[in-house]
Chain A
Amino acid sequence: MPGNAATLTVSVKEDVAEGVVSLTLARPDGARLPDWTPGSHIDLVLPEGTTRQYSLCGDRWDAHTYRIAVLREPAGRGGSAYVHDRLRPGDRVGVGGPRNHFPLVPSEKYLFIAGGIGITPLLPMVRQAELLGADWQLLYGGRTRASMAFREELTEAYGERVHVVPQDELGLLDLATWLGTPRPDTKVYCCGPAPLLAAVEAACAAWPPYALRVERFTSAAQTAPVRDTPFEVELRRTGRTVTVTPEVSVLDAVRRAGADVLSSCEQGTCGTCLTPVLEGQPDHRDSVLADHERAANDCMFLCVSRSCGDRLVLDL
């Protein structure tokens, strides 16, 4: 699995609802994991090479484990099936990030709307809203009661703030009632399948700008599979080329080749080891770059990021 810092062990695998398993991940050496904030996701790199993104739904006060929940998607491309059918406690997986495109911004009131497995990023958010003393409500829809992960722990912990709406019992979420009147003091957070997001966006059309924040599950458009084979890194200024094997970080490899690269956290979070990329396509695994910065392919963090292709050329 690529890079030492990014290889985690599955410590617990458990069923949390019909068709949903949760994985607890930890570093093999038991050390701390990179910090994260509610709304963050990780790239999960499975042993057979596919990469999927999953929201972190655990407790950030536990610095030693990540928790994700994975829905079996029969129409998917095999990643969720692998997690459900083949991944076992003790297996190693690669992890990129965490990154957060769905941060919880300050507000007096929140309305959280989850559809199905879209509960996962919202789970740490409701805990956080509670800690902050905010006034919040969670509207949680799903096909059936049994398919809705974390339903019981949510209702036990938060009681009437949580509104569970199984579709087979109660129908679709009543968005017109919940969102019909814009409320300037409330932020709306929604995660779930595309039709729910579209319906919530339509229902929030009259709300103030930036009131609605959504997280899209993009299982259809996933990143390229991660290489499990070596690649070459050319140091253009030094004039050397080094082969990076799967168990070594690019940072370590170029240092061994004599390049001086300043780093600090070596977890892809602090931003110190940013290095210009002259040719090739980096496989970005950091927590820092925005999507458009990743897509530019002109820089990378050597401590965690790697290569999509056979060759990278760095300005070193």
Chain B
Amino acid sequence: MTEALERAVVPPVSDADPFAHEVLLDPEPLHQALREAGPVVYLSRYDVHALARYEQVHAALVDWQRFESGSGVGLANFRHEKPWRPPSLLLEADPPRHDAPRRILREILAPPALRRLRASWAAVAEELVDQVLAEGTEFDAFTALAEAFPLRAFPDAVGLGPDGRENLLPYGNMAFNAFGPRNDLVAADAHRTAELSAWVNAQCRREALSEDGFGAQIWAAADRGDLTYEQAPLVVRSLLTAGVDTTVHGLAACLYAFATHPGEWQRLRDRPELARAAFDEAVRWQSPVQTFFRTATTDVTIAGTIVPKDTKILMFLGAANRDPDRWHDPDRFDLTRDPSGHVGFGMGLHQCVGQHVARLEAEALLTALADRIERIELAGTPHRHPNNTLRSWASLPLRVQPTA
């Protein structure tokens, strides 16, 4: 220990605020500065250590033994601060309590289990794209496509009733803001917290869910004793919290990427089977989920810096996904790149359990678009929507030329 202390590296200090509006709207300059500053940077404003290089972010993500999630994956340390809602049984849990909920969701959302959705989601996507194109060739692709498609496909797959689905996006926005500091973004949501939480919790009840969706399968797992009846609604809640906004902003990232890279759109049109990889490349390039925190379970040495036990570590997924030590020409959206290994879905034990659902949604929408649209370009200035965790959008005006 003494020897380790003598050798300990004092990390560079930054007083930057990763959660300031201007940074949330344009995070790349801070990401670059943090990556260049060192493998570990101390953020004095929040008293946390931060990781922005791929190597360290990847290593921390997979090392659940030393970087726990149960104390919260936001800035708040649940050991000392009360969570704003009962913690997630997946995102905010560690083994062994994490095991059963994770196993159930992994099985329900595994690629073989999703095959039955492929044809119906392709049809939903084709119908939506036809509707949008029938109304004109200039539209806000954020609302018309990126929001509209997951909101048609996913809640049906979960088995939600028809009423109140407009609450899903505000709830997700609130939940992802809550991982950051208690800033103005969190304050702006405060007046709706009780109402939105009550609505979401009501949808997680067995009676509120159809008999054939993911939600019913979660409750069936409780019937088999694979989950407890207390756990089942919280596992459904995880689907509703993590499954909508993330996909919406991932799809928006994809559409933005193609609108600004016409050559890549042509490439996708030539080879529509690239749709899945294109989505992952967009997730790498934009990182819809920008950041997550972990808590050190012991004094952890990262590249010589000692991160003390019980302190928070901020992992910049977006910065890791553009680390030039890992990615060639990282700022370029490039369908000839193999995006495998990006950390946009996280990595390891907590890696996004819904990633295959998101890819299937993206594949359906992109395939329908590539079949029907010759060219795609910006029709105005896109606007971001600041969120403490999500790289999110407010509008994405596009002009398209349908195929002849």
Using CB atoms and an 8 Å cutoff, list the residues of chain A in contact with chain B: 32, 35, 37-38, 60-61, 63, 100, 103-107, 128, 131-132, 187, 210-211, 255, 260-266, 270-272, 274, 288-290, 293, 299
Q: Is the CB of B341 within 8 A of A263?
A: yes
Chain B contact residues: over half helix, strand or loop, or mixed? loop
**Nearest CB of chain A from residue B294's CB, rounded to whole Å:** 15
**Nearest CB of chain B from residue A286's CB, rounded to whole Å:** 11
A163 and B248 CA atoms in complex are apart in Å by 55
- Interface contacts beyond A187-B225, A265-B348: sample of 17 additional A-B pairs, CB < 8 Å, sorted by A: A35-B348, A38-B96, A60-B95, A100-B103, A104-B100, A105-B100, A107-B225, A260-B338, A262-B276, A262-B277, A264-B340, A264-B341, A264-B347, A272-B355, A274-B111, A274-B112, A299-B111
Chain B residues whose CB sits within 8 angstroms of the CB of A266 once the complex forms: 340-341
User: Of B57-65, B137-145, B163-171, which binds chain A?
Assistant: B57-65
Cβ contacts B209-227/A at 8 Å (1 or 0 each)? 0000000000000001111
Chain B residues whose CB sits within 8 angstroms of the CB of A103 once the complex forms: 99-100, 103, 226
Known: A104-B99, A210-B224. A288 touches B110 (CB 8 A): yes
Listed by A's residue number, 13 A-B pairs whose Cβ atoms lie within 8 Å are: A61-B65, A103-B103, A105-B100, A132-B97, A210-B225, A260-B277, A260-B338, A262-B277, A264-B341, A271-B356, A272-B355, A288-B111, A290-B112
User: Closest B-chain residue to A211, C-beta based?
Assistant: B225
User: Closest A-chain residue to B107, C-beta based?
Assistant: A290
Q: Which of B226, B227, B228, B340 has the most CB of A within 10 A?
A: B340
Using CB atoms and an 8 Å cutoff, list the residues of chain B in contact with chain A: 62-65, 95-97, 99-100, 103, 106-107, 110-112, 224-228, 231, 274, 276-277, 280, 338-342, 345, 347-349, 351, 355-356
Q: Is the CB of B277 within 8 A of A106?
A: no
Q: Is the CB of A271 within 8 A of B62?
A: no
A211 and B223 CA atoms in complex are apart in Å by 11
Q: Is the CB of A63 within 8 A of B100?
A: no
Q: Is the CB of A63 within 8 A of B63?
A: yes
Q: Is the CB of A105 within 8 A of B63?
A: no
A100 and B102 CA atoms in complex are apart in Å by 13
Q: Which of A105, A211, A299 has a CB less than 8 Å from the CB of B226?
A: A105
**Nearest CB of chain A from residue B366's CB, rounded to whole Å:** 14
Q: Is the CB of B228 within 8 A of A106?
A: yes
Q: Is the CB of B351 within 8 A of A265?
A: yes
Known: A35-B349, A211-B225, A262-B280. A106 touches B231 (CB 8 A): yes
Chain A contact residues: over half helix, strand or loop, or mixed? loop
A32 and B58 CA atoms in complex are apart in Å by 12
A96 and B124 CA atoms in complex are apart in Å by 39
A266 and B106 CA atoms in complex are apart in Å by 17
A35 and B95 CA atoms in complex are apart in Å by 10
> Which A-B residue pairs are the 5 nearest by beta carbons?
A210-B225, A263-B340, A274-B111, A128-B96, A37-B99
Chain A residues whose CB sits within 8 angstroms of the CB of B280 once the complex forms: 262
Chain A residues whose CB sits within 8 angstroms of the CB of B62 once the complex forms: 32
User: Closest B-chain residue to A293, C-beta based?
Assistant: B112
Chain A residues whose CB sits within 8 angstroms of the CB of B355 once the complex forms: 264, 270, 272
Chain A residues whose CB sits within 8 angstroms of the CB of B63 once the complex forms: 32, 63
A60 and B112 CA atoms in complex are apart in Å by 28
Chain A residues whose CB sits within 8 angstroms of the CB of B345 once the complex forms: 264
User: Closest A-chain residue to B352, C-beta based?
Assistant: A270
Known: A103-B100, A289-B112. A264 touches B225 (CB 8 A): no
Q: Which of A38, A61, A263, A272 has the most CB of B within 10 A?
A: A272
Chain B residues whose CB sits within 8 angstroms of the CB of A100 once the complex forms: 103
Known: A271-B111, A288-B110. A262 touches B339 (CB 8 A): yes
A187 and B95 CA atoms in complex are apart in Å by 19
A128 and B231 CA atoms in complex are apart in Å by 18
A163 and B106 CA atoms in complex are apart in Å by 36
Q: Is the CB of B95 within 8 A of A265?
A: no
Chain A residues whose CB sits within 8 angstroms of the CB of B341 once the complex forms: 263-264, 266
**Nearest CB of chain A from residue B63's CB, rounded to whole Å:** 7
User: Closest A-chain residue to B340, C-beta based?
Assistant: A263
**Nearest CB of chain A from residue B141's CB, rounded to whole Å:** 24
Chain B residues whose CB sits within 8 angstroms of the CB of A290 once the complex forms: 107, 112
Q: Is the CB of A264 within 8 A of B65?
A: no
Q: Is the CB of A37 within 8 A of B340?
A: no
Chain A residues whose CB sits within 8 angstroms of the CB of B339 once the complex forms: 262
Chain B residues whose CB sits within 8 angstroms of the CB of A211 once the complex forms: 225
Chain B residues whose CB sits within 8 angstroms of the CB of A187 once the complex forms: 225
Chain B residues whose CB sits within 8 angstroms of the CB of A264 once the complex forms: 340-342, 345, 347, 351, 355
